Amino acid sequence: MKKNVAATVTELVADTVAANGCELWDVEYVKEGADWHLRVTIDREGGVGIDDCERVHRAIDPILDEADPIEGFYYLEVSSPGIERELKTDRHLAASVGTLCEARLFAPLNGTKSVTGRLTAFDADSVTLTPDGGEAVTLPRKAVSRLGTLYED
């Protein structure tokens, strides 16, 4: 059900997010404690500010109220993916080529459960991270539990 809610909400709000000058980065429907949260994450060139989040929230709230894709009460949150963002889709990966990233692994590889380097390539089955001054490491995507960007000074 959670995936269906996220997919349904994505379809419902993507055009409205774009019409408000932003890109839809991600939609999550998650339970935290006793509460359900619908997280709509937006991005745009130059970064997202509180005004962007508020504007998109106001624009999508009536759409969600009318379509009513979620049974019961939930909290609607609109936010930025932040500087250190999780990379979940090919679109996220394509936007992050050349960026310093960390891949956390389900099982150790050469004694470590994480690999850090610049995202230099990806395809349907793998991602390649190249440490500064090091050799490229190609990881099967199914071995990666989380892939995210890292903040650089």
Q: What is 2-79's CATH number, 3.30.300.70, 3.40.50.720, 1.10.287.3510, 3.10.20.30?
A: 3.30.300.70
Q: Which residue is associated with the tokens 């009513």?
A: 68
pLDDT digits (tens, 9 = 90+) for 11-69: 999 999 999 999 999 999 999 999 999 999 999 999 999 999 999 999 999 999 999 99
| Whether the predicted model's global pTM rises above the 0.95 cut | no
Do residues 5 and 29 make contact, with C-beta atoms less than 8 angstroms apart?
yes
Contacts of 25 (CB under 8 A, 6+ apart): 41, 42, 43, 81, 85, 92
Query: 3-class DSSP state for residue 11?
Result: helix
Other C-beta atoms lying within 10 Å of the C-beta of residue 14: 14
Q: What is 90-149's CATH number, 2.30.40.10, 2.30.30.100, 1.10.10.10, 2.60.40.10?
A: 2.30.30.100
Question: What CA–CA distance (Å, rounded) separates 113 from 75?
Answer: 34
pLDDT digits (tens, 9 = 90+) for 85-101: 999 999 999 999 999 99
Q: Which residue is associated with the tokens 């890109």?
A: 23
Other C-beta atoms lying within 10 Å of the C-beta of residue 17: 25
Question: What CA–CA distance (Å, rounded) separates 144 from 149?
Answer: 14
Q: What is the pLDDT of residue 110?
A: 87
